[in-house]
A and B are shown apart, each in its own frame.
Chain A
Amino acid sequence: MVRYVIKRVLLMLLTFFIIISACFLLIRLLPNVPAQQFGKDMSLVLQRRVRQGLVDSAGNPIPLMSQYWHFISRTLIGGDWGVSESLYIGQDCMQIFVSKLPSTILLNLYSMIFAVPLGLALGIYAALKKNKWQDHVISTGVMIFVSVPSYVYAFLVQYLLCFKFKLFPLVMNSGTKYFTWSMFHSMLPAVLSLSFGSIAGFARYTRAELTEVLTSEYLLLARTKGLTKAQTTSRHALRNAMVVIFPMIIGEFIGIIGGSLIIENIFVVPGVGPLYINSITALDYNFFMLLSAFYTIIGLASGILIDLSYGFIDPRIRIGSKANGKY
């Protein structure tokens, strides 16, 4: 197991290095010519390109591979992600990024807290009421919420709940007092908008897995041994169904720090969601590399964690062990 983990981590680092190198080279290959401004001393405009490490102070272009080596030595080895070059000029990229994480994490955490129990409950209920009207209602709702993009709910939630019925503020409160009722209340529309899709997703998977497990012969055996339906469902069926569902929860949980570009924009959540695309459009290289590295490492790490989680949930699964192992 330990060898397997070490191997996976090393592979992860190699993948990370390849992805981040590709990101670096591709973003630097994008055209970056300052627009002509009437009456402007363009050599001052070119200073941004000096800051970006594209040209030296005399205006001469720096070869791409030199830029790449500088990035490796300063950032990947030295851990310095540099300062923002166009989005937040002169400010430390890491500081800006970290300052934006709390609202994104909180928003997505609330969403998970809503989505997981509700999604599981609906899935279980639908599975237990399979092919009855309750199942049809839930399944129809699930199909709708899975199919429609979350920003559509977001606009509907904002228009109906915030604007028409005035149950919530239209946008999230400003300030950093995150753990107040007022702030929570202002975040609820965004939380709801984010939750609908997840609830539907969890419900769909739970229903599908549980339906399959509930028809297994060993459950019939459990019932014949005298267990009640509730006991068989909770002790045996649900536990086995969770083998598939639990990694999904972990994956979603890790993804919460990724943020949501559109939802954060609509409800003006000052989070990390829009940063990535803004860093590309503004050609803020340092910010782009920091965010690319962050999302890459999150994605790769979650892959490993999900794989490892199978072993914890289902003792029969022994990751990395020989194929002839007993269980």
Chain B
Amino acid sequence: MKKLTVIMLVLLVAMLSVFAQSAKETAEPAQTAAPAAPSAPAAPAKPATYTYNYAVSDFPTNWNPHTYETNTDSDIYGNIAAGFYTFDYNDDETGYKVVPDMAIGEPVDVTAQYIGQYGLDEDAVNQAWVITLRDDLKWDDGTPINAHDFEESAKRLINPVAQNYRADNLYSGNMVIVNAKNYLYQGKTVNLENATNAYYEMADLTVGADGVYVTPEGGKVYIAMDSPLEAWLGGNTLSDYVGAYGEAYFDLTNWDALVALTDEDGLVELTEETYALFVPVTTGNPNWGETEADVPAYFVYSSEFPALDWSEVGYKALSDNELLLVLAKPLKGFYLLYSLTSTDLVKIDLYDACESIVDGVYTNTYGTSVETTASYGPYKLTAFQADKQYAFAKNEYYYEFNDGKDIYMTTDIVADYVPEASTRLELFLQGKLDSYGLTIDDMETYSLSDYCYYTPGDSTFFMALNPDYDALVTMQAAAGANINKTVLCLLSFRQALSFALNRADFCLATSPTNSAGFGLYSSLIICDPEAGTPYRSTSQAKNVLVNFWGLADDIGAGKLYEDVDEAIESITGYNLTKAKQMFDQAYDEAIAAGYMDGDDVVEIKIGTPNGTSKFYNNGYEYLVNCYTDAVKGTKFEGKLRFTRDDTLGNGFADALKNNQVDLLFGVGWTGSTLDPYNLMEAYTSESYQYNPAWNTSVEMLTINIHGTDYTTSVKNWNDIMLGETVTITSGKGETIDFSCGDADNDPETRLDILAALEMAVLMTYEEIPIMDDSSAGLKGMQIQYYTEDYIFGMGRGGIKYYTYNYTDEEWDAFCASQNNQLKYN
């Protein structure tokens, strides 16, 4: 016992000694600002500092511009990098404009000089551009940056060995650099999933000399027996399904014969014989619910990329300050400049030093620590402690700080990792943070604060339903006796679900900063980026809302609404009386169609990614209560119940497609603020639809084009809007070849098509809009936003334009005078 006591005492004394000694050391500057001793000689006055402090709830780990994956990661990159061009306020500060940043002047169109090179043909326009760079660009260590650095960076970005996550910056989206994708994939024979790529039908394929079907490009075609199909089977293999469900869903007569032919990659060569063997497997059992037309979805085909020299890629340094970009498709104006608002520049020597091959797999640690980071933006990374804090200071080599145009008042930026919202709020109220993102729990206290700012997002969140009759039959059979799901394929039932939902209440219950959503696109989506015109402000988009919500007949002099805007203002999306009528109608239709009988109970399985998120938990509870109440007094009373699968995780978005659940909520798309035309593909393309039951290739749509009604499929209209030429037929049987993409210079017609497609999607009631994304936050008293209104591209000024009411020293004194408890409500 004595020994133990002695040991404990020694330990205690040792610890206290260490701290006593340490306490004498200079405390860390961030924590204390000890006043100078009176007798000390007067030190030169320190320049005032203005530090922007904020907290993050997720911590960045990788800000390599070639490999970063998340918005959290881009937080660091955003401060240390610049673009060729950048957003700035327009002249009256009511919108944005794109101005040169690292470039000088506008890009110069040199397409004519490169006709015959890089595959540019005689009539090519807007496909070769020269960007002239400033001659005072430098890294944060003073090393000059020139056009060759950009070329070398691009070369490393699409390094075939690296297969960088961001490699598609050079070939997906609007700006497609000639041969960038071919360079990345050179030498590779890749097996492409037919369903997500060319989607060849049997008629497109020919039989090769060895009896194996080949694509028009000569690639062999295979049946994916034991190889994952990302789109068709949600990343699972057909073998997985056959193993799980066997003869309950498949005709296994030929299965063993096919398995015997399967190679080590899980593929069977597609021949006439194997095709004949395979067709019954997925079509022979009605429970699986597929026809022979679906069989090509199980194909993969090989595609070979030939070796390619870098000189054939359309990304070249013409001199130290001239960069040539050759594009595979025309691009000009706003979209060209917008594509150039970020770069993939890396510091070559440092980048190469960070490369390694581990287990035959390329990795690169560039942009993972202070030592592996090089800055060329307004700030440089000065500190980084994983899962704790990162900090920036002004980069004295940033060109704008040396040409007399420095308007950045912020001298330092400090980001702290604080995962708990309550801790973030307490830090904010103590004056340790300059901004705080409000949570559901904070809204009651701070939503009316003068310091509360709302920021719209570009996403609309939906409730997505599974209306696929065959799939519902299968699922209800699996759910047990007297369970019905097929009622979901009735439009009237889906309409009832829509009208019964009080969207404003749903937002309050799940995410009070969001607002009720009534259309496919939120008010932030811009259809004319040159003019900054929001899509929802156009007459076409307004008409979609009043038509969809049945208000068109109530607008006009002497009617319920004086004009369209007043009608739109009145939309709530909630009409319980109509919902009850629709429920009754749906019940009658379901009985008449034999979908259900009087003993059946409709059971809707709702899917969520997890069981811990407040959003999904509150949302699920709200939907259950809302619909349980809504059916009271209808024929569905006591016949509607809900279950939940909260284990979907990353597979959440594919759960409808995979027939795991019947309903998803809170789903939507983000990242296409400036291109609603392209974004429409998310709703009309099988690749992106939450549930591809709506076959847009056969669904016909009539649109009035220049005074004449033309009819073609929804998919064709979508393709037309994206610039493809499609033959369309008028009501009188006349046909024309028509395209209406960005290059066709007919924005009004293009907008008409977009609005018609939006209406068509909404009318399916398969993806029902419920809320528009928005967030709310508190602004600290130390800083001042440049504009009160949120402006796309500029926010409220950002770090560049933020001004400060106090220096750091004054702010500390102010907070102390408030007893470190600031009032924001």
Return chain B residues, CB-CB under 8 Å to A33: 230, 234-235, 650-651, 654
- List the B residue with the shortest CB-CB distance to A174: B389
- List the B residue with the shortest CB-CB distance to A36: B653
Can you name 20 A-B pairs with beta carbons within 8 Å? Answer: A33-B650, A33-B654, A43-B190, A48-B165, A53-B359, A58-B189, A60-B265, A61-B228, A90-B363, A96-B386, A163-B426, A170-B432, A171-B416, A174-B30, A181-B27, A182-B27, A239-B1, A267-B423, A268-B419, A274-B387
List the one stretch of B14-22, B148-156, B519-527, B763-771 in contact with chain A. Answer: B14-22
Which 4 residue pairs of A and B lie closest in terms of their CB atoms, listed nearest first? Answer: A33-B235, A181-B23, A174-B389, A90-B363
CA distance A43 to B67 in the complex (A): 14
Looking at the assembled complex, report how far the CB atom of A111 sits from the nearest CB atom of chain B, in whole angstroms.
Answer: 12
CA distance A179 to B25 in the complex (A): 10
The verdict on A155 contacting chain B, using a C-beta distance below 8 Å, is yes
Chain B residues bordering chain A, tally (CB within 8 A): 85
Return chain A residues, CB-CB under 8 Å to B18: 179
Looking at the assembled complex, report how far the CB atom of B2 sits from the nearest CB atom of chain A, in whole angstroms.
Answer: 8
Looking at the assembled complex, report how far the CB atom of B432 sits from the nearest CB atom of chain A, in whole angstroms.
Answer: 7
List the one stretch of B4-12, B282-290, B796-804 in contact with chain A. Answer: B4-12
Return chain A residues, CB-CB under 8 Å to B1: 234-235, 238-239, 242
B426 to A41, Cβ gap below 8 A? no
Q: A36-B654, A90-B62 are in contact. Are A265 and B363 (CB under 8 A)?
A: no
The verdict on B275 contacting chain A, using a C-beta distance below 8 Å, is no
Q: A59-B190, A88-B368 are in contact. Are A175 and B27 (CB under 8 A)?
A: no
The verdict on B375 contacting chain A, using a C-beta distance below 8 Å, is no
A180 to B22, Cβ gap below 8 A? yes
Return chain A residues, CB-CB under 8 Å to B69: 89
Within 8 A of B (CB), among A229-281: 234-235, 238-239, 242, 246, 265-268, 270, 274
Within 8 A of B (CB), among A16-70: 31-36, 38-45, 47-48, 50-51, 53, 57-61, 70
B682 to A90, Cβ gap below 8 A? no
The verdict on B117 contacting chain A, using a C-beta distance below 8 Å, is no
The verdict on B427 contacting chain A, using a C-beta distance below 8 Å, is yes
CA distance A320 to B518 in the complex (A): 75
Question: Besides the contacts A42-B196, A182-B28, what 17 more A-B pairs have beta carbons closer than 8 Å?
Answer: A34-B650, A35-B652, A43-B190, A58-B190, A61-B228, A74-B359, A89-B69, A99-B386, A117-B8, A163-B426, A174-B30, A174-B388, A176-B385, A179-B19, A181-B22, A181-B25, A270-B386
B227 to A163, Cβ gap below 8 A? no
- List the A residue with the shortest CB-CB distance to B364: A90
B62 to A47, Cβ gap below 8 A? no
Return chain A residues, CB-CB under 8 Å to B363: 51, 83, 89-90
Please tell me which one of the listed residues B12, B358, B430 contacts residue A163 in the complex, with CB atoms under 8 A apart: B430
CA distance A182 to B11 in the complex (A): 20
Looking at the assembled complex, report how far the CB atom of A86 sits from the nearest CB atom of chain B, in whole angstroms.
Answer: 8
Return chain A residues, CB-CB under 8 Å to B669: 38
Return chain B residues, CB-CB under 8 Å to A40: 168, 172
Q: A234-B1, A268-B419 are in contact. Are A36 and B32 (CB under 8 A)?
A: no
Within 8 A of A (CB), among B320-347: none
Please tell me which one of the listed residues A34, A166, A266, A268 contacts residue B417 in the complex, with CB atoms under 8 A apart: A268
Please tell me which one of the listed residues A38, A174, A181, A183 contacts residue B671 in the complex, with CB atoms under 8 A apart: A38
The verdict on B61 contacting chain A, using a C-beta distance below 8 Å, is yes
The verdict on B538 contacting chain A, using a C-beta distance below 8 Å, is no
Looking at the assembled complex, report how far the CB atom of A188 sits from the nearest CB atom of chain B, in whole angstroms.
Answer: 11
Interface centre among A38, A61, A274 (most CB of B within 10 A): A38
A179 to B22, Cβ gap below 8 A? yes
B31 to A173, Cβ gap below 8 A? yes
- List the A residue with the shortest CB-CB distance to B26: A180
The verdict on A159 contacting chain B, using a C-beta distance below 8 Å, is yes
The verdict on A227 contacting chain B, using a C-beta distance below 8 Å, is no
The verdict on A184 contacting chain B, using a C-beta distance below 8 Å, is yes
CA distance A58 to B820 in the complex (A): 59
Please tell me which one of the listed residues A44, A60, A183, A246 contacts residue B167 in the complex, with CB atoms under 8 A apart: A44
Question: Would you give the 0/1 interface string for B512-547, flagging 1 where the beta carbon is closer than 8 Å to chain A?
Answer: 000000000000000000000000000000000000
Q: A44-B163, A242-B1 are in contact. Are A113 and B27 (CB under 8 A)?
A: no
A270 to B388, Cβ gap below 8 A? yes
Question: Would you give the 0/1 interface string for A183-210, flagging 1 where the beta carbon is closer than 8 Å to chain B?
Answer: 1101000000000000000000000000
Question: Would you give the 0/1 interface string for B121-164, flagging 1 where the beta carbon is closer than 8 Å to chain A?
Answer: 00000000000000000000000000000000000000000011
The verdict on A100 contacting chain B, using a C-beta distance below 8 Å, is yes
B361 to A51, Cβ gap below 8 A? yes
A88 to B61, Cβ gap below 8 A? yes
Q: A42-B230, A166-B820 are in contact. Are A265 and B28 (CB under 8 A)?
A: no
The verdict on B679 contacting chain A, using a C-beta distance below 8 Å, is yes
The verdict on A177 contacting chain B, using a C-beta distance below 8 Å, is yes
Please tell me which one of the listed residues B172, B386, B426 contacts residue A162 in the complex, with CB atoms under 8 A apart: B426
Within 8 A of A (CB), among B40-74: 61-62, 67, 69
The verdict on A116 contacting chain B, using a C-beta distance below 8 Å, is yes
The verdict on A15 contacting chain B, using a C-beta distance below 8 Å, is no
B172 to A184, Cβ gap below 8 A? no
Q: A31-B650, A60-B266, A113-B15 are in contact. Are A171 and B418 (CB under 8 A)?
A: yes
Please tell me which one of the listed residues B67, B386, B672, B688 contacts residue A88 in the complex, with CB atoms under 8 A apart: B386
Q: A38-B688, A88-B386 are in contact. Are A265 and B419 (CB under 8 A)?
A: yes
CA distance A239 to B364 in the complex (A): 58
Q: A88-B386, A90-B363, A270-B387 are in contact. Are A44 and B62 (CB under 8 A)?
A: no
Interface centre among A43, A58, A239 (most CB of B within 10 A): A43
Please tell me which one of the listed residues B25, B385, B670, B682 contacts residue A175 in the complex, with CB atoms under 8 A apart: B385
CA distance A173 to B427 in the complex (A): 13
The verdict on B191 contacting chain A, using a C-beta distance below 8 Å, is yes
Within 8 A of A (CB), among B357-393: 358-359, 361, 363-365, 368, 383, 385-389
The verdict on A82 contacting chain B, using a C-beta distance below 8 Å, is yes
Q: A170-B427, A173-B30 are in contact. Are A58 and B191 (CB under 8 A)?
A: yes
B28 to A59, Cβ gap below 8 A? no
Please tell me which one of the listed residues A44, A82, A91 contacts residue B165 in the complex, with CB atoms under 8 A apart: A44
The verdict on A299 contacting chain B, using a C-beta distance below 8 Å, is no
A173 to B228, Cβ gap below 8 A? no
The verdict on B649 contacting chain A, using a C-beta distance below 8 Å, is yes
Looking at the assembled complex, report how far the CB atom of B179 sits from the nearest CB atom of chain A, in whole angstroms.
Answer: 15
Return chain B residues, CB-CB under 8 Å to A43: 190
- List the B residue with the shortest CB-CB distance to A271: B387
A173 to B28, Cβ gap below 8 A? yes
CA distance A60 to B300 in the complex (A): 12
The verdict on B411 contacting chain A, using a C-beta distance below 8 Å, is no
Within 8 A of B (CB), among A150-177: 155, 158-159, 162-163, 166, 169-171, 173-177
B28 to A268, Cβ gap below 8 A? no
Return chain A residues, CB-CB under 8 Å to B383: 174
B418 to A268, Cβ gap below 8 A? yes
CA distance A60 to B196 in the complex (A): 17
A45 to B165, Cβ gap below 8 A? yes
B427 to A171, Cβ gap below 8 A? yes
The verdict on B210 contacting chain A, using a C-beta distance below 8 Å, is no
A159 to B190, Cβ gap below 8 A? no
The verdict on A300 contacting chain B, using a C-beta distance below 8 Å, is no
- List the B residue with the shortest CB-CB distance to A281: B649
The verdict on A222 contacting chain B, using a C-beta distance below 8 Å, is no
Return chain B residues, CB-CB under 8 Å to A38: 669-672, 679, 681-682, 688
Return chain B residues, CB-CB under 8 Å to A266: 420, 423
A88 to B25, Cβ gap below 8 A? no
Return chain A residues, CB-CB under 8 Å to B116: none
Question: Would you give the 0/1 interface string for A310-326, flagging 1 where the beta carbon is closer than 8 Å to chain B?
Answer: 00000000000000000
A82 to B358, Cβ gap below 8 A? yes
Return chain B residues, CB-CB under 8 Å to A57: 163
Return chain B residues, CB-CB under 8 Å to A60: 191, 227, 265-266
Looking at the assembled complex, report how far the CB atom of B341 sits from the nearest CB atom of chain A, in whole angstroms.
Answer: 17
Looking at the assembled complex, report how far the CB atom of A271 sits from the nearest CB atom of chain B, in whole angstroms.
Answer: 8
The verdict on B422 contacting chain A, using a C-beta distance below 8 Å, is yes
CA distance A44 to B416 in the complex (A): 31
